[in-house]
Amino acid sequence: MPNTLKATLKGSAAVMLAGASLFAAPAGLAEGIPSYNLYGVPGLIDMPTANVSPDATLSITAANAGNHTRGTLSFQITPRLSGSFRYSGISEFPIGGSVDGVYYDRSFDLRYQLLKETDYLPSVVVGLQDFIGTGIYGGEYLVATKEVLPGLELTGGIGWGRLGSRNPFGSTGTRPNVDIGTGGTPTYDQWFRGDAAGFGGVSYSPTEFLTFSAEYSSDTYAQEQQRGEHDDDSPWNFGVDYRFRDGTQLSLYHTFGNTFGAQISFHTNPKSAATPGGRETAPVPVSVRRPGAANDLGWTALPTNSYRQTLTAALENDELVLEGLTLEPRQATVRLRNPRYGQVPQAIGRTARAMTRVLPASVETFVIVPVVEGMALSAVTVRRSDLEALEHSDNAEILARASITDGFGRAPSAFDEVYPRFGWAIAPYTQFSVFDPDNPARADLGIRASASFRPTANLVFSGSITKKLAGNLDESSRNTGSALPSVRTEKARYSQEGDPAIERLTVAHYARPGTNLYSRVTAGYLESMYAGVSGELLWKPVNSRLALGVEMNYVKPRDYDQLFGLRSSETRAGVIPDFNGHVSAYYDIGNGFHGQLDVGRYLAGDYGATVTLDREFANGWRVGAYATFTNVDYDDFGEGSFDKGIRVTIPLGSVSGSPSTDRTTFDIQSLTRDGGAKVLVDGRLYEQVRDYHQPQMAKTWGKFWRSA
């Protein structure tokens, strides 16, 4: 269900396991993926190359050399542009902000390919390293790489910043000092300024599994020498990479003339599911009517209950639910609930196939109205004779003949026995907290019980309780103050006292107030830290790329024990306001990109905007980044300066090869702070609605006959 989209680095063990296997790339993926370096970007050893991974390659690298440990997540955003997020620990570096001599830091890189390699010209890449962090790894480069003989590559480049620290041959202006303060803002005043130095190297791959490399590094590790422990005995680094069949790279290095280093890189690509198209069971064939049978209306004089029962059973066979049916002499309208197929056209296609087998021959028009939380999301109309004629044709042909219109007022009412409906689940969960310098990764493991009760189609009472079994989330004691009310920073205390905890306990009402309109009202214990009332209205025409929404919340902070009590809104640094909310615009930009803009008031009473940009794949994968800018001064915000993060959404259907509506989002937030924070409400409308609308339906239409 779309409500599983909320997960912020938390989820059941099932999800985590599926998440772990997502980096188990299908064979053949390795093709075209270059060697990655200690920074987790295409490179030699510590220096970058101008090699570029295939579009949409998603890589995780863990590396260590000397006092430097780096974990990097890289994504090839477009064929030429890539971005990286890195979390690193520098030991024996006792500067401000370090813990026991270890300095932890986050950094972001961007790389853009200016020139593609040709027979005569090298590939050329320009890179910004650590360009919005504290700047400790800050450096820019222009690098060229050319394969001169089969397997033999030469690389040469110019570096600035820390990549311009050895034997600079020139200088371009003056470079302001590194600002290791709160960090988090673009260091554009430093880019390509100051000393410039050359670096280069050579790599040779005698087989596709093995690469030897040597490089001349232009980085003297000046800061580490000066303020920590680093011996720069040699500018020469040497390495050997071994590449497994699935693309995994394992490397050993000799670095700085005195130490050994190692790294491992895993690669996956949202575009390459393990089994293309999935391995779900086949749909039933379309049943073709006998010529002339369509004129027989004799059935209309008889009871029609058996059609309903047979269709219910046929849909059950595909794990779909027939919630309602209107049968007319020439038209049938189905009210459909889809708990199974993440690719909605597949659910529509399987329903249409079942209808050809069950319904009387005179019924020519099929209207399928998918319903979520009682809301009719769209109405897909197909002609039965088109289904018969096009069963074995290109899926584009049936798409051209189907019409997708607003579902408002189109759904037949639900059968009496469908509601009330009760559901429950018990599952393990894990919850993570990362990037706390005292302990960079913490986790809790426990059991979560959840239940829902729907007295009618539009009304749902639901809740979940957690009981911790093991973990150390509660050990966090870091509370670097901000000048804002503590709306999120008391997380550790919630973790300490909330065991067992009522995570959520709400009543929610969903409706269609009019054409193009969707509404939600949720009241109760909305999330682990806040209780209150949340209301939302969404405008989304069924064929529009644009949607607009407005959300208003009235909240009170919950007691730390997360049972039924509330606590005072007064905190050490101010009062948590009762009201917050946003207006939102959602836009499908095309070419696989999707943007969202939220403008409004955040939990701590700060005003501002959140910009989100995702690269989305038809199979449900998403890789995106967001940033929130509010009227809080960077200094008042505290570490990180403003809220930003990256997120990866994984559809379990694509990972497992078996259809599922489940998806999990791994949200890597730079740090949980009080500024730019939102209340976490379940069941926000846009994600529930869009899969059943254009342009999303057309993107996934290949699955219609895979109903088929």
Partner 1 sequence: MKQKIRRSGFAPVAALCATALLAACSGGGEGRDGPELIRNAVVERFGPNGRGPVRVTPAQVQQLTARATNALILIDFPKTQSNAVLVRIGQNRSVETYATAARQTLSMENGLLRGTRGMGGDLMSADLGRLPQLIARRQSGSTQREVRILNGEDITVRQQFSCDVAVTGTGGAPRVTTMTENCTQQNGNIRFTNTYDVDGQGRVVSSDQWASNYLGQVKIQQLRF
Residues 426-455 binding partner 1 (CB under 8 A) are: 426-428, 447, 449-452
Q: Cα–chain-centroid distance for residue 37? A: 25
CB of 696 to partner 1, least distance (A): 12
Query: In the set 153, 241, 662, 682, which binds partner 1 (CB under 8 A)?
Result: 662
CB of 329 to partner 1, least distance (A): 24
Neighbours of 212 (CB within 10 A): 14
∠ at Cα 291 (288, 293), nearest 5°? 85
Phi/psi of residue 549, nearest 5 degrees: -140, 160
Query: In the set 314, 336, 358, 652, which binds partner 1 (CB under 8 A)?
Result: 652
- Using CB under 8 A, which residues numbered 82 to 101 contact partner 1? none
CB of 364 to partner 1, least distance (A): 17
Query: x-or-dash pattern for partner 1, window 600-619, by CB under 8 A?
Result: -----------------xxx
Three-class SS state of 173: coil
CB of 668 to partner 1, least distance (A): 22
Query: x-or-dash pattern for partner 1, window 565-604, by CB under 8 A?
Result: ----------------------------------------
Complex with partner 1: residue 120 or 424, whichever CB lies closer? 424
Using DSSP bridges, classify how beta strands 331-337 and 365-372 pair: parallel, antiparallel or unpaired.
Answer: parallel
Region of 83-91, 295-303, 388-396, 600-608 interacting with partner 1 (CB under 8 A)? 388-396
C-alpha to C-alpha distance for 370 and 382, rounded to whole angstroms: 14
Phi/psi of residue 235, nearest 5 degrees: -80, -5
Alpha helices in 426-532 (DSSP H): 491-497
Region of 362-370, 386-394, 599-607, 638-646 interacting with partner 1 (CB under 8 A)? 386-394
Complex with partner 1: residue 203 or 707, whichever CB lies closer? 707
Query: In the set 17, 297, 441, 563, which binds partner 1 (CB under 8 A)?
Result: 17
Give which of 71, 97, 672 is closest to 438, Cα–Cα. Answer: 97
- Extract the tokens encoding 410: 């189109």
CB of 619 to partner 1, least distance (A): 4
Decide if residue 400 touches partner 1 (CB under 8 A). no
Decide if residue 699 touches partner 1 (CB under 8 A). yes
Complex with partner 1: residue 135 or 349, whichever CB lies closer? 349
Q: What b/e readout covers 257-286, taking b as 16+ CB neighbours within 10 angstroms?
A: eebebebebbbbbbbbbbeeebebeebeeb
Binding residues for partner 1, rule CB under 8 A, total 74
Region of 393-401, 485-493, 568-576, 669-677 interacting with partner 1 (CB under 8 A)? 393-401
C-alpha to C-alpha distance for 257 and 233, rounded to whole angstroms: 5
Report in angstroms the alpha-carbon separations of 12 from 6, 431, 451, 506, 700: 13, 9, 15, 21, 27
CB of 179 to partner 1, least distance (A): 41
Three-class SS state of 75: strand
Decide if residue 658 touches partner 1 (CB under 8 A). yes
Give which of 271, 267, 276, 231 is closest to 249, Cα–Cα. Answer: 267
CB of 153 to partner 1, least distance (A): 25
Query: x-or-dash pattern for partner 1, window 261-300, by CB under 8 A?
Result: --------xxxxxxxxxxxxxxxxxxxx------------
C-alpha to C-alpha distance for 532 and 526, rounded to whole angstroms: 7
Decide if residue 343 touches partner 1 (CB under 8 A). yes
Decide if residue 469 touches partner 1 (CB under 8 A). yes
Amino acid at 302: L
- Using CB under 8 A, which residues numbered 470 to 489 contact partner 1? none
Give, rounded to a whole angstrom, the gap between the first and last alpha carbons of the chain. 21
Decide if residue 708 touches partner 1 (CB under 8 A). yes
| 8 A C-beta contact, residue 123 and residue 50 | yes
- Using CB under 8 A, which residues numbered 360 to 379 contact partner 1? none
Query: In the set 384, 594, 644, 706, which binds partner 1 (CB under 8 A)?
Result: 706
- Using CB under 8 A, which residues numbered 117 to 136 contact partner 1? none
Decide if residue 349 touches partner 1 (CB under 8 A). no
Element (H, E) at 336: strand 331-337
Beta strands of 491-569 (E only): which ranges?
501-514, 517-525, 530-539, 546-557
Decide if residue 330 touches partner 1 (CB under 8 A). no
- Extract the tokens encoding 179: 């600002």
Beta bridge partners of 610: 598, 628
